[in-house]
C-alpha cells in the first residue's frame, strides 16, 4: 500500500523511472564490456607468451596480491617507475615472483592501462589467482569502488561497475568515440547521475531532470564508434526511449526493485567499512579528512578575502563612474578634442607612409611601383680636402 501511495506522486514516479533506466543501461553495456575485456585479456596473455623468458605456465593460480612481486623494479626506495602509490615494487622484502612467470606481468599491464594519475587499481575487487584465465577478474581492478569481489562476470556487475571499467581502463578508450578522459564526458556524467539517483534522500525527481538522465544514458549507448553497432546496446536504447513516454506504466514491482538495489548497496558499503579498514588505515583516512578540512577552510578564507577585495574594487569603480557622469562639459569637449587630435595624427602618419615616403627607384624613368625611400637611399661619400703648409693636402671622409 505504501508503494501504491508513493506511485501517485509524479516526482517519485520520475525517480523510479530514472532508476529503471540505470538497469537498462547496464543491459546495454554488459555485452560490450565483456567483449572488450576479453580482447584486452587476450592481448595481455599473447604479449606475455611472446616476450617472457622462460615461457609462462598458464594457468597460474598460486599468487596473492599482498606477496606478488611485479615484473618492474623500483627506481629507488619508495619510488615506483610506473608512478603507482604503495606499489608492490616499493616493498620487495616480502614479495615473491610468480612461480609460473605470468602474474607479475599482468600486474604491470593493469597499472599501465589504468587511466588515473597516479594509477590506482583497486586490487581488493579482484582474485589474482584467476588473472591468467578470467578476463573479468582483470577488469575488476579498474572498478575504483568496493563491493565487486564476488562479481564474476559483466552480467552480475551493475552499471556503476561497468562505467568504472570504461572510464578507468585506457584499453577501453580506443573503443569509445567520445573523449572518455574529459571532465564532462557522458560516461562520467551518467555515473554521477547514478549516485544522485541512489543517494537521493527524497526519492523524487522532476520529470525534466529524469528525462535529461535518460537522454544521456541513450547517448552513451549510441556512442558512434562501436556501441551504436551493438545489438544489446540498441535494444536497451529502445527501452530507455519507452521510459520517456507519458503512458509508460510504473508498477510497485519496479519501485521495489530500485529500493532493493539501494538496500544491497548500503549493506555492501557497511560490510566493506567494517571489514576492510585496519587501525593504521583508519588513522591514515582520519588524518586525510583532517587535512582536507584544513585545506577547505583555507580555501574558503582565501575566497572570502578575494571576494572582499573584489567588492572594494567594484565600489571604487562605481564611484569613478559617478564622477564621470557629473563631469563638466568642458572636460568632455577636451576629451573629444584629444580624440580628434589623435585621429588626425594617425591619418597624417598613414598619409606620409603611403604617399610621401615612397618614391620611384629611377626618378628619370618612373615605374609603376614605388618603394620606401629608406630602401633605395644610398648615403653619398663626401671628402673634405684640408690644405696644409707647403702645399700638401690631407683628405678626410
Q: What is the dihedral of CA 280, 281, 287, 289, to 10 degrees?
A: -160
Please report the pLDDT score of residue 245 as a whole number.
Answer: 82
pLDDT at 280 exceeding the cut of 70 = no
Q: Comparing 142 with 372, which gets the higher pLDDT? A: 142
Q: Comparing 276 with 163, which gets the higher pLDDT? A: 163
Whose CA is closest to 129, among 213, 195, 64?
Answer: 64
* Cβ–Cβ < 8 Å for 209, 73: no
User: What CA–CA distances, in Å, run from 291 to 14, 88, 298, 342, 375?
Assistant: 39, 26, 11, 58, 68
- CA distance linking residue 268 with residue 146, whole number of Å: 8
pLDDT band at 4 (very low <50, low <70, confident <90, very high): very low
Alpha-carbon radius of gyration of the chain: 37
User: What is the pLDDT averaged over residues 84-110?
Assistant: 93
pTM for this model (two decimals): 0.65
Q: Comparing 25 with 179, which gets the higher pLDDT? A: 25
Q: Comparing 354 with 347, which gets the higher pLDDT? A: 347
Number of residues that make up the chain: 397
Cell representation of residue 277: 579498514
Q: At what angle do helices 103-113 and 10-51 cross, to 10 degrees?
A: 130
Of 44-53, 272-281, 309-318, minimum mean pLDDT range: 272-281
User: What CA–CA distances, in Å, run from 319 to 5, 209, 322, 323, 325?
Assistant: 60, 44, 5, 6, 10
For residue 54, say if its preceding peptide bond is cis, omega within 30 degrees of 0: yes
pLDDT at 208 exceeding the cut of 50 = yes
User: What is the pLDDT averaged over residues 223-242?
Assistant: 95
Of 128-142, 343-357, 376-390, minimum mean pLDDT range: 376-390
Please report the pLDDT score of residue 363 as a whole number.
Answer: 63
> Can you name the residues that pair with 358 across neighbouring β-strands?
372
pLDDT at 322 exceeding the cut of 80 = no
Highest mean pLDDT pick, 33-47, 294-308, 318-332: 33-47
Highest mean pLDDT pick, 150-154, 301-305, 366-370: 150-154
User: What CA–CA distances, in Å, run from 257 to 52, 60, 133, 219, 269?
Assistant: 48, 39, 33, 24, 19
Highest mean pLDDT pick, 186-195, 232-241, 253-262, 306-315: 232-241
Burial code (b: 16+ CB inside 10 Å, e: under 16) for 231-253 equals: ebbeebbebbeebeeeeeebeee
pLDDT at 26 exceeding the cut of 70 = yes
Of 29-38, 150-159, 354-363, minimum mean pLDDT range: 354-363
Q: At what angle do helices 10-51 and 231-243 cross, to 10 degrees?
A: 170
Please report the pLDDT score of residue 248 as a whole number.
Answer: 63
Of 59-63, 146-150, 266-270, 354-358, minimum mean pLDDT range: 266-270
Please report the pLDDT score of residue 366 as a whole number.
Answer: 61
DSSP 336: H
Cell representation of residue 132: 591468467
User: What is the pLDDT averaged over residues 183-190?
Assistant: 86
User: What is the pLDDT averaged over residues 184-213?
Assistant: 86
Please report the pLDDT score of residue 316 as a whole number.
Answer: 79
Whose CA is closest to 142, among 162, 158, 156, 159?
Answer: 162
Cell representation of residue 371: 618603394
pLDDT band at 78 (very low <50, low <70, confident <90, very high): confident
Highest mean pLDDT pick, 188-192, 351-355, 357-361, 381-385: 188-192
- Percentage of residues of the chain with pLDDT beyond 90: 42
User: What is the pLDDT averaged over residues 11-15?
Assistant: 85
- Write the CB contacts of 57 (distance below 8 Å, at least 6 apart in sequence): 100, 101, 102
pLDDT band at 1 (very low <50, low <70, confident <90, very high): very low
pLDDT band at 185 (very low <50, low <70, confident <90, very high): confident
Of 62-66, 139-143, 210-214, 362-366, minimum mean pLDDT range: 362-366
pLDDT in tens, 39-67: 999 999 999 999 988 889 989 989 999 99
User: What CA–CA distances, in Å, run from 271 to 128, 147, 264, 265, 266?
Assistant: 21, 9, 11, 10, 9
pLDDT at 122 exceeding the cut of 50 = yes
Amino acid at each position: 500500500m505504501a508503494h501504491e501511495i508513493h506511485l501517485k506522486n509524479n516526482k517519485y514516479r520520475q525517480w523510479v523511472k530514472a532508476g529503471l533506466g540505470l538497469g537498462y543501461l547496464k543491459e546495454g553495456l554488459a555485452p560490450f564490456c565483456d567483449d572488450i575485456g576479453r580482447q584486452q585479456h587476450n592481448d595481455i596473455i599473447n604479449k606475455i607468451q611472446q616476450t617472457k623468458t622462460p615461457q609462462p605456465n598458464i594457468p597460474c593460480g598460486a599468487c596473492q596480491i599482498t606477496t606478488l612481486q611485479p615484473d618492474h623494479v623500483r627506481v629507488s626506495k619508495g619510488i615506483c617507475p610506473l608512478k603507482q602509490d604503495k606499489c608492490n615494487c616499493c616493498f620487495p622484502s616480502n614479495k615473491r615472483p610468480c612461480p609460473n612467470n605470468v602474474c607479475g606481468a599482468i600486474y604491470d599491464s593493469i597499472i599501465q592501462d589504468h587511466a588515473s594519475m597516479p594509477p590506482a587499481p583497486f586490487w581488493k575487487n579482484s582474485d589474482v589467482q584467476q588473472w591468467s584465465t578470467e578476463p573479468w577478474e582483470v577488469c575488476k581492478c579498474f572498478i575504483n569502488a568496493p563491493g565487486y569481489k564476488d562479481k564474476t562476470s559483466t552480467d552480475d556487475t551493475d552499471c556503476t561497475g561497468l562505467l568504472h571499467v570504461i572510464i578507468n581502463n585506457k584499453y577501453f578508450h580506443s573503443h569509445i568515440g567520445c573523449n572518455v578522459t574529459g571532465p564532462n564526458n557522458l560516461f562520467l556524467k551518467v555515473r554521477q547521475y547514478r549516485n544522485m539517483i541512489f543517494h537521493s534522500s527524497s526519492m523524487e525527481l522532476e520529470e525534466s531532470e529524469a528525462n535529461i538522465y535518460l537522454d544521456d544514458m541513450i547517448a552513451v549507448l549510441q556512442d558512434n564508434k562501436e556501441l551504436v553497432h551493438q545489438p544489446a546496446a540498441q535494444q536497451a536504447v529502445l527501452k530507455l526511449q519507452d521510459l520517456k513516454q507519458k503512458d509508460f506504466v510504473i508498477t510497485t514491482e519496479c519501485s521495489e526493485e530500485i529500493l532493493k538495489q539501494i538496500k544491497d548497496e548500503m549493506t555492501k558499503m557497511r560490510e566493506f567499512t567494517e571489514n576492510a579498514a585496519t587501525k593504521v588505515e583508519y588513522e591514515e583516512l582520519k588524518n586525510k579528512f583532517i587535512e582536507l578540512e584544513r585545506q577547505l577552510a583555507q580555501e574558503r578564507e582565501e575566497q572570502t578575502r578575494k571576494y572582499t577585495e573584489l567588492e572594494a574594487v567594484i565600489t571604487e569603480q562605481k564611484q569613478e563612474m559617478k564622477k564621470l557622469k557629473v563631469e563638466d562639459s568642458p572636460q568632455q569637449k577636451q576629451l573629444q578634442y584629444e580624440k580628434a587630435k589623435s585621429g588626425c595624427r594617425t591619418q597624417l602618419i598613414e598619409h606620409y607612409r603611403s604617399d610621401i615616403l615612397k618614391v620611384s627607384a629611377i626618378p628619370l624613368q618612373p615605374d609603376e611601383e614605388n618603394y620606401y625611400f629608406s630602401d633605395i637611399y644610398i648615403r653619398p661619400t663626401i671628402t673634405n680636402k684640408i690644405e696644409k703648409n707647403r702645399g700638401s693636402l690631407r683628405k678626410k671622409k
